[in-house]
Amino acid sequence: MTGGWRSLLRLIAVQGTWNYERMLGVGMGYAAEPLLKDLQTVDPVRHGEAVVRSTEFFNCNPNLAGLALGATVRAEYEAVPGAQIARLRTALCSPLGALGDQLFWAGLVPALVGAAVVGAVLGAGWWAIAGLLLLYNAVRIGTGVWALRTGFDAGMRIAGAISGSWIPRAVERIGPVAGFAVGTAIALSAGWYLEGFGWAGAAGALAVAATGAAVTRWFGPAFTTVRFALLAIGLLAFFRWVGL
């Protein structure tokens, strides 16, 4: 796979040109370019078409984008009809978005952040934060290398390669781990913050938490975390102002 490492480096910045028109499209095209280089000598016309195709609209979780990149590049070398490659790209947005988001944004990230908070509260301090950054990026880069290789080996058989891989199993397991880590972190960090505030502080924190749970239940998805945090800050400022 000539250009594999250059392509991998470029994949790290695949979201660099994110926009509504093409989403990851331009980033994918930039990352595909080193891999498609050999096609230029074999079939210059096809090479031009392939480069254009690789920049078209595309979206998925950035950490799994290598699967789509590898598979489509392989398909270009195997002279699969262009229309079919375009359909492959469209269809890959689905599982790579869904599985990748569950694995990373709803799984690994909260699991590691929760673990790091637990570590920090239990006395590991900055080492916990450093561990979080190191571990997360190691998994991310490792997954990137695996994804590009797996995609390139599979080509048009990518569906089987994904469903038979570790990804679906990891998605199943990471959710409960993330829930446990964040749950533990909330309890431990709440205790840590409230140390020294006594019963009044604990009661105040409990009131804020109960309000949060109630408004989330009543206002549903319209009441985002950010809006709740702004409301809580506003309320606290008001209480201070009236001298409570």
Q: Which position has the token pair 């009131």? A: 207
Residues with Cβ < 8 Å from 19, sequence gap 6 or more? Answer: 26
Interacting residue with another protein among 90, 180, 234, 235 (CB under 8 A): 90
For position 57 contacting another protein by CB under 8 A, the verdict is: yes
Long-range contacts of 230-233 (CB under 8 A, 24+ apart): 232/208
Interacting residue with another protein among 77, 101, 131, 139 (CB under 8 A): 101
Candidate segments 31-39, 97-105, 133-141, 202-210, binder of another protein by CB under 8 A: 97-105
Phi and psi dihedrals of 23, rounded to 5?
50, -115
For position 59 contacting another protein by CB under 8 A, the verdict is: yes
**Closest separation between CB of residue 122 and another protein, Å?**
34
Total binding residues toward another protein, as defined by CB under 8 A: 27
Q: CB–CB of 67/28 below 8 Å?
A: no
CA distance to 66, 146, 171, 175, 177, per residue, from 182 (Å): 29, 28, 17, 11, 9
Interacting residue with another protein among 13, 91, 122, 210 (CB under 8 A): 91
- Per DSSP, 79 falls in state T
For position 233 contacting another protein by CB under 8 A, the verdict is: no
SS (H, E, C) 137-158: HHHHHHHHHHHHHHHHHHHHHH
Candidate segments 72-80, 113-121, 130-138, 159-167, binder of another protein by CB under 8 A: 159-167
For position 111 contacting another protein by CB under 8 A, the verdict is: no
For position 99 contacting another protein by CB under 8 A, the verdict is: yes
Nearer to another protein, 98 or 134 (CB): 98
**Closest separation between CB of residue 172 and another protein, Å?**
10
Q: CB–CB of 49/133 below 8 Å?
A: no
For position 225 contacting another protein by CB under 8 A, the verdict is: no
Cα–Cα distance, 24 to 11 (Å, whole number): 10
Angle at 71 between CA 66 and CA 77, to 5 degrees: 125
Interacting residue with another protein among 162, 178, 181, 185 (CB under 8 A): 162
What residues pair up with 23 in beta bridges, in sequence order?
58
Cα–Cα distance, 86 to 49 (Å, whole number): 11
For position 196 contacting another protein by CB under 8 A, the verdict is: no
**Closest separation between CB of residue 222 and another protein, Å?**
6
Residues 201-220 that bind another protein (CB under 8 A): 220
Interface residue list for another protein (CB under 8 A): 20-22, 57, 59, 87, 90-95, 97-99, 101, 156-160, 162-163, 168, 220-222
